[in-house]
């Protein structure tokens, strides 16, 4: 697996783990503090790169064996604001 795909999968795995964690395990305010800077960095991507990253996340979601994690990862492009609402 190429470097970009490995990094994207690692990022998505962390985001999904935080998203699916119990509020007792990770405080929602702390989760927001962790994820907002990452989201801000993604906002700096060009439209073409945002689209490519969104497509990569959807492709990588298919590698997830757990159905709940697979769906959460497939939803990341929308959750992270990588796609326009009409593309969802």
Distance CA(20)–CA(25), nearest Å, equals 10
Q: Mean pLDDT throughout 17-31? A: 92
- Position 1 scores a pLDDT of 76
Structure tokens, 28: 């929602």
pTM of this prediction? 0.85
Model pLDDT for residues 25-58, shown as the tens digit of each residue: 999 999 999 999 998 999 999 999 999 999 999 9
Q: What are phi and psi of 42, to 5 degrees?
A: -65, -30
Q: Using pLDDT thresholds of 50, 70 and 90, give the confidence band for residue 83.
A: confident
Rounded Cα distance, 81 and 76, in Å: 8
């Amino acid at each position: 697996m190429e470097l970009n795909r490995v990094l994207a999968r690692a990022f998505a795995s962390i985001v999904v783990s935080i998203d699916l964690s119990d509020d007792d395990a990770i405080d929602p305010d702390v989760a927001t503090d962790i994820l907002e800077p990452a989201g801000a960095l993604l906002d700096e991507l060009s439209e073409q790169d945002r689209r490519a990253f969104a497509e990569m996340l959807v492709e990588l979601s298919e590698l997830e064996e757990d159905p709940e994690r697979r769906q959460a990862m497939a939803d990341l492009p929308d959750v992270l604001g990588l796609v326009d609402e009409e593309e969802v």
